[in-house]
């Protein structure tokens, strides 16, 4: 059975992803507002802003990449659950543990491994927009790829800890009751 320390680690990971997911979700509202301003500027005043247009791309990418761990925490990712949905908690735990070990963690590792040179080369030159008045922070945008993989891997570790707890006889965690939310400890 996972130790209390491992269970506390899983709870801390859940809280981090919960906080980040809730925070970046506000970018959806920001994107709508910025897009509205862009449309008004263009069609009412005849003015365009490359910086504002690029900001929507930055917000969109940031929201989706940084909220992926939050989505995993709340069972929001698409899965083929013909068998999973009706499965008892122990079978769900075996499936989750297998999926994390065989698919999720290796994929996150590959993402970090493959993205690292791409992100590092962008940081080396502090890559910016090719447009003269664009956002000069492409290196930061590319960095969210690494953050995405780390957050999803951490959430996978939390999922594996909780699955191992179920297999050891503990009651099913919140991961099997999607309406429940982990406590915010940060």
Q: Mind listing the pLDDT tens digit for each residue in 33-81?
A: 999 999 999 999 999 999 999 999 999 999 999 999 999 999 888 776 7
Domain count, the chain: 1
Lowest mean pLDDT among 3-7, 110-114, 128-132, 153-157: 3-7
Helix axes of 138-167 and 105-124: crossing angle, nearest 10 degrees: 160
Would 153 be classed as within a structural domain?
A: yes
Q: What percent of the chain has pLDDT over 90?
A: 78
Would 20 be classed as within a structural domain?
A: yes
Separation between Cα atoms, residue 147 and residue 150, nearest integer Å: 5
Separation between Cα atoms, residue 112 and residue 39, nearest integer Å: 37
Cβ-based neighbours of 169, under 8 Å, separated by 6 or more: 1
pLDDT for 84 equals 81
Asked if the model's pLDDT at residue 9 lies above 80, the reply is yes
Tell me which residue of 53, 22, 61, 30 sits closest to 146, measured CA to CA.
Answer: 61
Would 64 be classed as within a structural domain?
A: yes
Would 81 be classed as within a structural domain?
A: no
pLDDT for 82 equals 76
Structural domain for 158, as ranges: 4-76+86-174
Separation between Cα atoms, residue 30 and residue 55, nearest integer Å: 10
| Token pair belonging to 11 | 């709870």
Asked if the model's pLDDT at residue 178 lies above 60, the reply is no
Asked if the model's pLDDT at residue 103 lies above 80, the reply is yes
Would 16 be classed as within a structural domain?
A: yes
Would 184 be classed as within a structural domain?
A: no
Burial (Cβ within 10 Å: 0-12, 13-18, ≥19) of residue 88? exposed
Would 182 be classed as within a structural domain?
A: no
Would 181 be classed as within a structural domain?
A: no
pLDDT for 1 equals 60
């Amino acid at each position: 059975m996972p130790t209390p320390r491992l269970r506390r680690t899983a709870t801390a990971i859940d809280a981090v992803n919960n906080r980040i997911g809730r925070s970046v979700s506000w970018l959806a509202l920001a994107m709508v507002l910025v897009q509205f301003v862009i449309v008004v500027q263009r069609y009412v005043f005849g003015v365009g802003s490359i910086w504002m247009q690029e900001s929507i791309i930055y917000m969109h990418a940031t929201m989706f990449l940084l909220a992926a761990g939050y989505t995993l925490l709340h069972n929001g990712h698409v899965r083929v659950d013909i068998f999973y949905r009706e499965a008892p908690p122990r079978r769900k735990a075996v499936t989750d543990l297998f999926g994390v070990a065989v698919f999720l963690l290796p994929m996150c590792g590959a993402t970090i491994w493959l993205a690292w040179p791409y992100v590092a080369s962008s940081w080396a030159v502090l890559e910016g927009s090719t447009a003269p008045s664009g956002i000069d922070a492409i290196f930061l945008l590319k960095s969210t790829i690494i953050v995405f993989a780390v957050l999803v891997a951490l959430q996978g570790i939390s999922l594996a800890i909780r699955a191992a707890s179920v297999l050891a006889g503990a009651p099913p965690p919140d991961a099997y009751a999607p309406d429940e939310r982990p406590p915010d400890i940060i």
